[in-house]
Structures are given as C-alpha cells and as structure tokens.
Amino acid sequence: MSSRLILLTFVIFLYAGNASGAAVRRQLASSAAGCIVIDKQKWLPREIYARAYINVAAIEDSSSYPGERHLVIVVMRGDRSGEVFDTRLQREGGKQKFTIENNADFKATGKLITFNNPPLGGVWTQDYLKRSINKSLVSRHWKLAVKSLQQPQVNILCRSYVSETLRNQQ
C-alpha cells in the first residue's frame, strides 16, 4: 500500500472519529440545555426564554472531580457574556441523568472572567468555571431552538442541587 493511501485512510478515520465525537457532544449539550430550560428554577434570564434560539457551548470534564463526569454548559447572552452551569452526568435506570451542580452569570473581557453572582463553592470552583468558560469561548457553539428544548426528553432525567436538596429533605 502506498504511503499516500495510508495517510488518506488515517485522515478519513480521524475525521470520522471527530465528527461522531462532535455529534455526541452536541446531543449531550442539547440534553443538558433542555434540563436547564425546563427546570422550575428558571435559571436563565427572562429574555433568553423569549428567544427562538440560544447559543450554547459544552466543555466535558472527567478529571476535576475524581470518579465523576461533568459537562459545563455555557449559554451565551451576548458575544462575551452569559450563564455557566456545571452539570454532573450519570446513568440511572437506563437513563442519562443531568444534575445541575452549580451556576453563575459571567462577563468576559479578554481572558478575564468576572461573575456578577459568583457560584457557590469558593475560589476553586470559580477558577474551575473560569477555565471552562475560557475554553468554551474558543470552542464550537451550537444554535439550539428554545421550543425544542422545552419539550419532554425521552430517557433523560433532570435534577439540580436545589431539587436534589428539596427531594432529600422530604
């Protein structure tokens, strides 16, 4: 086999792997954003719910919290501001479970991220979310239809640190 054919085959497999990875990440981002949109807490500013589409980025993280898989969702309000949500991903009864663990609204100026209402958890959590926001600003964003996100999702469970706390107290 010629070296060109080997290189071409490698590039095709590499592209196919990245394309399928991007599709999975988009689906996870869409499911997590759906949980954010439908939650009774109304996490997003009122004007975002009135939009036809929202601009969303997702950063996967399986190293910051040992043994846990997280997806940081960034919902953009403008070019350099928005809402950030740290969601924990789990499987429960054959369903994908998204738990909103933390949230904050932010503004970015260059690489400097400031929080209008800081997340719970102190300096480590703020630094973790700032890193994720900076990554999201240069990563792929998806335009998701708000009406679609408001529809019930099959095989998806949505929770938040607020609903988990309330549910555990009952």
Tally Cβ neighbours within 10 Å of residue 60: 16
Q: What is this structure's pTM?
A: 0.82
CA neighbor of 43 nearest in space, from 81, 84, 76? 84
Q: What does each C-alpha distance from 93 to 9, 29, 162 come to in angstroms?
A: 39, 21, 22
Tally Cβ neighbours within 10 Å of residue 122: 9
* Per-residue pLDDT tens digits of the chain, which is 170 residues long: 555 544 334 434 434 344 456 787 888 888 999 988 888 888 888 888 888 999 999 999 888 888 989 999 999 998 899 999 999 999 888 888 999 999 999 999 988 999 998 899 899 999 999 999 999 999 999 999 998 888 878 888 888 888 765 444 43
Cα distance between residue 57 and residue 74, in whole Å: 5
- Compute CA 93 distance to the chain's CA centroid, rounded to the nearest angstrom: 22
Cα distance between residue 37 and residue 56, in whole Å: 12
Question: Which uninterrupted H or E stretch holds 118?
Answer: none
- Contact by Cβ (8 Å): 140, 81: no
Tally Cβ neighbours within 10 Å of residue 18: 10
Domain ranges of the chain: 3-169
CA neighbor of 166 nearest in space, from 43, 40, 70? 40
Cα distance between residue 112 and residue 34, in whole Å: 28
